[in-house]
Amino acid sequence: LALKLIASVHQSDETVVYLDTCHTFDPDYAIRCGVKPDQLVTALPQSPAEGVEILYDLVSQRAARLIVVSSTVPLLADHTLANALPRLRRRLTKSGSALVFLTPLAETYSPLSPLPQDAETRLQVTRQAWLGHGADVEGYQIQVTILKQKPRPPGGSVRLAISFAETVQGDAT
């Protein structure tokens, strides 16, 4: 879903930054989801502190319309992100940028973790089924549930089909 969001922003010729905290970005898969590599800046922080510093600089400089953080696990491990969130939130409201954190399931957060409380919107995305013919994969179906949506109450869900720009053939080509 995050890659489809990136592709949507690219249709407006806007720059997107993908902060790859776990160094797991798959450019082939991103292209299949419609991401334009020439409009995507990928940052590979070497430490949690560097990741938060890059994030703060991007927001402060209004460097991108959308910033996606691939995983919060490394950033939350040493409380670097937790300590920076209030300052980051103030800058974000003035930046015109959207910030998306891809996180593990809600149950993995401690009750004191600031990220779930600070989020404006929280979605839970669950893959339901692969879409395709035989061994060829053309996409997948997901269930998106609203866990939090300020100022509205949580609730509601929708099923979406995520399709690839090209079929992924059963022989992985």
Residue 156 pLDDT: 87
**How far, in Å, CA of 103 to CA of 113, rounded?**
12
Residue 69 pLDDT: 92
pTM recorded for the entire structure: 0.81
**How far, in Å, CA of 40 to CA of 10, rounded?**
8
Residue 106 pLDDT: 60
Residue 172 pLDDT: 46
Residue 151 pLDDT: 80
List the domains of the chain with CATH numbers: 2-118 (3.40.50.300), 120-173 (no CATH)
Q: Which of 55, 97, 91, 92 is nearest to 72 (CA)?
A: 55
**How far, in Å, CA of 1 to CA of 8, rounded?**
11
**How far, in Å, CA of 13 to CA of 15, rounded?**
7
**How far, in Å, CA of 70 to CA of 53, rounded?**
15
Residue 169 pLDDT: 47
Instruction: Dig out the tokens for 69 from the structure.
Output: 């953080």
Q: What is the pLDDT along the chain (173 residues), one digit of tens a residue?
A: 899 899 999 999 988 999 999 899 999 889 988 899 999 999 999 988 898 899 999 999 988 999 999 887 777 776 777 788 888 888 888 888 899 988 876 656 666 666 777 778 888 888 899 888 888 888 889 899 888 888 888 788 889 888 886 555 444 44
